[in-house]
Chain A
């Protein structure tokens, strides 16, 4: 168990391991994909106990904090594992790794209570250093999804960075958009201005043009998993605050397995 007081050092050191908005593509034999954990440090620990030793890579899809009381510890635990072996852990950024959400959904208050009034600044620094996306075994991994302005994966590498909120519309959408396979094109999302749903045609086109097999993402509260577009877009949720299931995807030898924790 990571103590809250350890987390500032861990995230400072982990920040030095971050390598920009788009990480280099990876191809591995066994990969575990983890959706929103939202402070569920016990589930995060379970994932490490179960998969860390024999996996080549664990991809966290963002949203480590808010909606609970142990976001500091959750973040610290993942950062500690990343420092243990930076090639084995990827920490992508979610829309909750941002001041836009932390003041409302609890993480700012949690940090202030546990670490003091000025402690939050170093978390913001860490959040804005987190990558938005990575391609693993030809699956695009990111928190929200495709953006209206995104034609190719490589564009992500050129986004303004660091970007605190983020304010760049493309980066914002990567963290906030949701897939809907019953629509076409992009339509405005109920989440608010600047966020969209991305439909089946634009997703198919993006996957084809970028030689991708699919998209693996988090961001929505689902009962462990949801498939869109015949399974080409997978949504994973890895917290239990909603009263439903927490799941992870395990990709081994190019076979994808859904595991409920």
Chain B
């Protein structure tokens, strides 16, 4: 495991990093010396394996070490997804907030971002859910993190009555679309098996991971997920699956 390399050199532009609004840690390839975002398991410059990199200093003592395995087969290139999608974020901001007082009006709300063109009915996390469907009960996917910051806290209903197989991925044809370059076009799917909620990774490039309370463990094929499970798709998107 490695944290950052400390190098003094001219700034390098990395489109993967620039695409993300939140910066990440960096590791340095021991083969070619290129800087790489922490999310990459192989060097963006020479393709070398991060695991073999020994040039990067070790962290002092991280409390938890995610075990993220690199994915194997690269995806074929196709038309790129939008780099970043702004979506409806949270409910309209109150014009004022006051931690400990009763009161009054202050500033106008900050401008709302544009609405996402293709995310299926994201609803703010704090809003009351719509009425439940008949049949399997209702599940939601709450975005804990994703590169499109405006989606964080969005709550997407999972409708098994409408879609027996809820596909998740970067492509618009999925039931749940995640605008994240590190998420595969067809990344994973959710299904109901009797009363059990099942999560299946579809041989995604950067993997699907289930948080076990200590670390994210890679999902191979299919696993049962309990309500309130935390799932990571690829390297930058984390959701919480909640149920009613």
Contacts and interface: CB of A to CB of B under 8 A. Distances in A.
B215 interface: yes
Interface of A: 95-96, 99-101, 103-106, 108-109, 112, 120, 139, 148-149, 165, 167-169, 178, 180, 182-183, 186-197, 213-214, 220-227, 231-232, 242, 244-245, 247, 254-260
Contacts of B62: 169, 193-194
B163 interface: no
A169 B61 contact: yes
A187 B125 CA distance: 19
Interface string B36-73: 00110000000000000000000111111110000000
A213 B107 contact: no
Interface in B1-56: 1-4, 6-12, 17, 21-26, 35, 38-39
B240 interface: yes
Contacts of A105: 11, 23
Contacts of B35: 103-104
B149 interface: yes
Contacts of A104: 11-12, 17, 26, 35
Contact of B211 (A101, A167, A187, A247): A187
Interface of B: 1-4, 6-12, 17, 21-26, 35, 38-39, 59-66, 89-90, 93, 96-101, 103-104, 106-108, 110-111, 113, 125, 142, 144-145, 149-150, 152-153, 211, 215-216, 230, 232, 235-238, 240
A72 B12 CA distance: 19
Contacts of A189: 145
10 contacts: A99-B6, A100-B25, A109-B9, A169-B61, A182-B125, A191-B22, A194-B59, A227-B97, A255-B101, A258-B96
Given A220-B22, A231-B97, A190 B235 contact: yes
Contacts of A223: 89, 110-111, 113, 150
A103 B6 contact: yes
A155 to B, nearest CB: 15
B191 to A, nearest CB: 24
B182 to A, nearest CB: 9
Given A169-B61, A193-B25, A120 B8 contact: yes
B64 A182 contact: no
A3 to B, nearest CB: 22
A238 to B, nearest CB: 12
A112 B8 CA distance: 10
A100 B2 CA distance: 13
B106 A260 contact: no
A165 B59 CA distance: 11
When A and B form their complex, which 7 residue pairs have the shortest distance between CB atoms, in order from nearest?
A192-B25, A192-B38, A221-B21, A257-B106, A224-B110, A194-B62, A109-B11
